[in-house]
Amino acid sequence: MKAGKDKVIAIHYTLTVDGEKVESSHDNDEQLWILLGHGQLIPGLETALEGHEAGETLQVEVAAADGYGERQEDQIQRMSKKYFPQASRLKAGMVTVLKLKDGNQRAVTVHKVGMSAIDVDLNHPMAGKTLNFDVVINDVRDATEEEVVHGHAHPPGAEAH
Ligand code: ZN
């Protein structure tokens, strides 16, 4: 069975950026279950997986535009330290997570630490980067109706949600 829209795939992956390993599903030995065609993956990786089958190994290079987007220059924002749970430990270049008003969280990069405020770069930390994925496809199956309605995969053994 070939991977594509409304198929569920199980993959192991390692993400490498600028020659450094960023993350890997091998680290905790937990494969990732993905419903394809529903925006669960970055576009460049999703496109690369299409038409492939279980047992295949892929090396995928994803350009920034098909990954986390290009860097935008006007994304530096000054924010009061009170919004940062661990403000005293932050230094320029560190990535930290901000809680937004809508309850969502967002990873930002510390640009400059001042007396009472911190300048953060709102670009995604991976913006502007070429992403290199090593992917092993372990399984491809049809999505269930419920998965398509929910817009995500239900891994085996996971509780209903
Ligand atoms: Zn669900």
Ligand 1: centre distance to CA 9 (Å): 15
Segment 98-146, tens digit of pLDDT: 887 788 888 889 999 999 999 999 998 889 999 999 999 999 999 999 9
How many CB atoms sit inside 10 A of residue 11's CB?
A: 23
- What pTM does this model have? 0.79
CATH of the domain at 110: 2.40.10.330
Among residues 1, 5, 15, 9, which one has the least CA distance to residue 129? 15
Q: Which domain holds residue 146?
A: 7-68+127-150
CATH of the domain at 32: 3.10.50.40
Ligand 1: centre distance to CA 70 (Å): 31
For CA atoms 33, 35, 36, 37, give the dihedral sign.
Answer: negative
- Tokens 């390692």 found at: 14
Examine the domain organization and report whether 35 and 113 are in the same domain. Answer: no
Task: Calculate the alpha carbon distances from 53 to 2, 6, 9, 12, 50 in Å.
Answer: 5, 14, 9, 13, 9
Ligand 1: centre distance to CA 146 (Å): 7
Ligand 1: centre distance to CA 111 (Å): 38
Ligand 1: centre distance to CA 67 (Å): 25
Segment 50-80, tens digit of pLDDT: 999 999 999 999 999 999 999 998 899 999 9
